[in-house]
Amino acid sequence: MNQSFLAPIKNSWILLRSIAVTSSSVTTIVSTVLPLFLYYSVANDKLLFIFLLLFFGAFLIHGVLTHMLNDYVDYQSGTDQNSPAILSGGSRVIQTGIISASTLWLLGKWLIFSLSVIVIGLLVFGYYKVALLLAIGIWGAISYSLPPLRLSYRPFIGEWLSMFPSVFVLGLAGAWLTLDTIPEWALQNAIINALFCLAWVMVHHIPDREADRMAEPIKRTSVVWAMEKFGPAFSRLPALLYFAMTGLCAVWLGTDRIWAMIGTLAVAGSALFLVLKMQIEDHDQVTAYEKIILILAMINGVWLGIFI
């Protein structure tokens, strides 16, 4: 096959960082759509259409747009150049010369424009729910990376105003679009999956803490804030906090969802153990533990989807 044809596909795949998108966005979609397949009398073709719509949207927003903007801004600030670059440090498409920074920024702007036009079109034709979901996704990508907000460079604000809303509404979307109401189990699953996502992203930032401090402007993530406030050993504090919150939310599931509660407590407890055990100076070990945590995120999402 012609190499010039394969190149854009390969470059797009690298930029997607599909493992991260699958363990967060796709997992939270499955966690809501799976119960609809198993326990509700909804036509399978309708559920399949909604799943594929959300799946495509997740990869387009969280995989393509978010990573385009994040790679570009982090390259401009210099943090990605100094990152250990194992799982962290961006997709490396700029550093390896696959895509230039200017081209990535141009593609990002065109994608923002195109998606904004789609939102307007959806509103005009009365697809208000889909328009709102897409608008929140666009907000998350833009506010997380682009100036003047650039919320990923501010401790805690980036997680709660950009990342959490984007993943949370994606977790609600399957039930909302299918049932017109949001059952309590869907709300529970969406919150727990979103919190788990915040937690593993904090683990993801641990190896980058020194590179982020060297950036201009400083990328003061929650990890960097905790390290500067309490010392290097406390780089793990944000991850511990969010995994603990995940475990507390599991108690909310109560006896009505006893197996779901047990499973989430076990997964959150395992993640807490890994974060406490990891040697934060050993980037290879942190990366290895992060991979395990990504698997735990997927297990937890499916588990919550089975036991409603």
Q: pLDDT (tens digit, 9 = 90+) per residue, 246-290?
A: 999 999 998 899 999 999 999 999 999 999 999 999 989 999 999
Instruction: Please give the angle made by the CA atoms of 70, 274 and 241, to the nearest 5 degrees.
Output: 65
Q: How far is it, in rounded angstroms, from Cα 245 to Cα 248?
A: 5
pLDDT in tens, 208-255: 999 999 999 999 999 999 999 999 999 999 999 999 999 999 999 988
Is residue 134 a contact partner of residue 119, using CB atoms and an 8 Å limit?
yes
The SS3 call for residue 90 is coil
192 neighbors 249 (Cβ within 8 angstroms): yes
Query: What pLDDT sits at residue 15?
Result: 57
How many whole angstroms separate alpha carbon 100 and alpha carbon 96? 9
What is the pTM for the complete model shown?
0.93
CA dihedral over 141, 142, 144, 145, signed as positive or negative: positive
Q: What is the chain's alpha carbon radius of gyration, rounded to the nearest angstrom?
A: 19
Q: Is 117 helix (H, G, I), strand (E, B) or coil?
A: helix
In the DSSP assignment, the letter for residue 24 is: I
d(Cα 277, Cα 246) in Å, to the nearest integer?
Answer: 19
* Angle at the Cα of 75 from the Cα atoms of 71 and 79, rounded to 5 degrees: 105
Look at residue 1 and tell me whether its pLDDT is greater than 80.
Answer: no
* Residue 250, number of CB atoms within 10 A of its CB: 24
Per cent of the chain over pLDDT 70 is 92
pLDDT in tens, 98-152: 888 999 999 999 999 999 999 999 999 999 999 999 999 999 999 999 999 999 9
